[in-house]
Amino acid sequence: MADVVAVSEMLSLALHSMVLIALKGQEYVSAKEIAAATGASEAHLAKVLQRLAKAGLLHSTRGPKGGFALTKPPEDITMLDVYEVIEGPVVERKCPTGRPTCPFAACILGGVPQRLNKEFTDYLASKTLGDLSFRLSD
């Protein structure tokens, strides 16, 4: 059975990486360290981290003590921020199929897909890296 709400591997990797970096505080975390902790390939991880850095969520520095650090406190970065960097902006649609018009007078799904999308988006917006880090540090 297909998942109603699916999270891409790239998004999962981005969120896990951001939490690992948040747990280190002001220390820079190397891509090698993150790859080891997540089981991801360094090449794939590098693409994810570069995207997050380009979006301004991470700062990167080169060298033996280089790596990645958050650009702002974990409490100021939401899961939605990370989601939109990786997946693109959330788009609210009237029709879950993306059709501009419906052949029926009312949606046969009763607006459930829109409500689920809104709940998921609201959840992502309400959870910060600080929340996720706190959950893992217990």
Q: How many angstroms separate the CA atoms of 51 and 134, rounded? A: 25
The residue ranges of every structural domain in the chain are 9-137
Kind and range of the H or E run holding 55: none
CA distances from 4 to 54, 112, 113, 122, 132 (A): 30, 11, 9, 16, 22
pTM more than 0.95: no
Mean pLDDT of the region 106-120: 84
Query: Concatenated DSSP letters for 100-132?
Result: SS-SSSS-TTTTHHHHHHHHHHHHHHH-BHHHH
Tell me the average pLDDT of the chain.
90
Tens-digit pLDDT profile for residues 54-95? 999 999 999 888 899 999 999 999 999 999 999 999 887 777
Q: Does domain 9-137 have CATH number 1.10.10.10?
A: yes
Of 84, 109, 40, nearest to 17 (Cα)?
40
**pLDDT above 80 (res 47):** yes
